[in-house]
Amino acid sequence: MFSFRSLRSATLMLVVLLSSCVPAAGKIDAVQGKRYSLTAQHGPWMIMVAALRDVPEERRIEGGLTAWEAADKLVYELRIKGIPAYTFLQSMQVGKLDTFSSGAAGQGERKFISRHEAIAVLAGNFRTPDQSDPKNSAKAMLSFIKNDFQPSFLKEKKHGGIFAITPGRPSPLSRAHMTVNPVRSASSVKANTVDSLVRKLNSNMEHSLLRNKGKYSLRVATFRGNAILQIDHRTSEKEERQFKNVFGSNLDESGTKAWELTEGLRTASRAGYDRNFEAYVFHDRHESYVTIGSFDRPNDPRIAEHAKRFGGKYKEHQGREVLTAELFTIPRNVTPTQPAEKLWMFDTVPRLIQVPRVR
């Protein structure tokens, strides 16, 4: 066990947790005594370096560091090494456990502490947990912290640091690991994280959503690989042909359809439409989709205009109103003698999404 002891507070137990890093942007500020607090602007992936907390009164010693002092010193020493590091107060969490008794009370409830309050130290700013940029490698930074980083203040007994080498912990920070920024929501991290394969699929592509400079874009069309509903394990040849014509036979074909729709929207005036549209395409592991527009705020009035234009319309069918998807055809004006050369179907309900970022 690794602990700090203080006259003013208590022994501090150092518990190394998982964490991850994000690349540092420019020179890292490092001022001794200054507190660098974690915010939602950091991350989304970081390295959990350590968590420090006070321990009971009876284990105090004179002249040691408080948890906050130790955390600030650890952050400072990481920063002078060029590693962006921050502190974060983890609040205590209380869980509840149902209990049963044979007495008159019957069923009851017992509370327990599921997580103690602690000062967490996190380092790095990575877009993915496996970021491998030459100057900002998550793996390299994590390895350095776990194996090579030796904070000088931990070596001074007057600070109250106690560390015993064990097979599972050969160095004070050997249990460091990757984690998400605890200040940010899981959905936010997921929405803004682009893994290596997806990044490869999109980075060098014309009209890629990754090149959208706004914070938001309106998702208007989705293309997926084969998925067809079967009744009684039977599917007609007509249904299969219709499905392939609309959705494609696999993800590659779906990706092609998405890119072609994007190109068609950007040059829509050539096909007889009243204007061209700022369209983007994005491919992930399961589907490809097309978005319209670049917006800095979610209440931009243009969003509602686009949603009305591309979203489904209610039409009467067999005596009742049915939400029907809008179509985009080339050319725009289709007649029995001039059928569509190409046809795409928009999503019935457009959805505002955050633009994924590669930092």
Q: Where are the domains of the chain?
A: 2-97+105-183, 196-354
Tally of residues, the chain: 359
pTM over 0.75: no
State pLDDT tens for residues 315-349. 887 788 888 889 999 999 888 888 888 899 999 99
Q: Has residue 19 got a pLDDT over 70?
A: no
Q: DSSP letter string over 257-287?
A: HHHHHHHHHHTGGGGT-SS---EEEEE-SSE
State the alpha helices, DSSP H only, in 171-236. 186-192, 196-202
Residue 206: pLDDT band with limits 50, 70, 90: confident
SS3 323: strand
